[in-house]
Amino acid sequence: MLRALLLENLHPLATEILRSQGIDVVQRTGALDEDELIDALEGVDILGIRSKTNVTERVLDHAPDLMAIGAFCIGTNQIALDPAAHRGVAVFNAPFSNTRSVVEIAIADIIALTRRLTVFNDEMHQGVWNKTASGAHEIRGRTLGIIGYGNIGTQLSVLAENLGMSVVFYDTAEKLALGNARRMETVEELLEVADVVTLHVDGRPGNAGMFSAAHVARMRSGSIFLNLSRGFVVDYAALRDALLSGHVAGAAVDVFPQEPKRKGDPFVFDLQGLPNVILTPHTGGSTEEAQEAIGQFVATKLRDYLQTGSTTLSVNIPNLALEQTGAHRLAYLHRNTPGVLAKVNQVLAEHDVNIEAQLLATRGDIGYVVTDAGSPIADDVVASLADLASTVRLRRLS
């Protein structure tokens, strides 16, 4: 029986899907540090995490049974992807399932800060009645600057336009502008015109510190700043100074350089205590609807990989899906060197295994081939294939 370890309070639907396939599922709340994770992964075939559990190369070295990791979130920078691939561990995530939730909280933050709702709310709770229009604006007619025009950025662009905002965006990759959005050639060009600046970049190491003190200073006076992407991309000390001076009118932050691993752990951050700042505990994508969709999507990807060898939308190994023929199937993950497929087929031919269907895909220095045979695949065939110098992981699926 395969065994799965699910951490960080994943949606119950993930457990239900895996258990329906006869997988023994162990659930634990909160994230684990490196040593805890190594201990917990003994005998585990499948790991499910969110953003706070780091799967390092050292963890992978101590988890020889691990076959697949499900990141029940968008980002995968918490996982050593290449080392996982070279150890035969497939990684799947949920790149689309919580997009709408992040977009909606961004819209809510923009409206709340533009209307100064955080300040009014704080004063009212202190018994201060301060009815004034000073500093409060409609978002209609204002310019939204989106840095990172991917799945979230593009959907935010469309909704913001529907609310009457003008949209400009910057992305390092060439992206098609939706609606009336305009592409800016540089971040600096975007900052010169944006009344609201929002970050939606990914967690690649090159993005560390990408929004610097110089960028904060370049923002328009009285503008608003949002970060719902990654905690390490912003100079928060510079942002605090700009908020205190009034150069930046307000900010909303959902991601932080250091985040508590478990619910209830203490939290300390540069922008705490400022009335014009909205702080949320990395809940941009955490709606019940989004978590259910993520649970279903990632658990289904894990199930399909284990049952059929399908790697569609895997983020670290070649993507392929061979239509099930009802035959006997081998899934062979290997080093991408010349002649591997010929050697595999030679072994099969030497053992009188007739190939009914076969599909090969490569990704960098990793290759993956799925083969359907017309007769049962004997143990000596599997042993011969496993002995090939190119083998990373071999699975007999049926």
In this prediction, residues 373-386 reach a mean pLDDT of 94
Q: Strands 391-396 and 366-373: what pairing?
A: unpaired
Q: What pTM was estimated for this model as a whole? A: 0.83
Tell me what the pLDDT averaged over the chain comes to: 95
Residue with tokens 């017309």: 374
Residues of 66-75 as b/e, b for ≥16 C-beta within 10 angstroms?
A: bbbbbbbbbb
In this prediction, residues 8-12 reach a mean pLDDT of 93
Cα gap 356→348, rounded to integer Å: 12
For residue 205, the model assigns a pLDDT of 85
Residue 13 tokens read as 């639907």
Closest Cα partner for 201 from 165, 177, 232?
Answer: 232
Count of Cβ atoms closer than 10 Å to residue 300 Cβ: 16
Q: Which domains does the chain have, with CATH numbers?
A: 1-98+288-315 (3.40.50.720), 99-279 (3.40.50.720), 318-398 (3.30.70.260)
Percent of the chain whose pLDDT exceeds 90: 92
Active site residues: 230, 259, 282
Q: Which of 10-14, 72-76, 215-219, 364-368 has the lowest mean pLDDT?
A: 72-76
Residues of 225-259 as b/e, b for ≥16 C-beta within 10 angstroms?
A: bbbbbbbbbbbbebbbbbbeeebbbbbbbbbbeee
**Res. 261 pLDDT band, cuts 50 70 90:** confident
In this prediction, residues 128-155 reach a mean pLDDT of 96
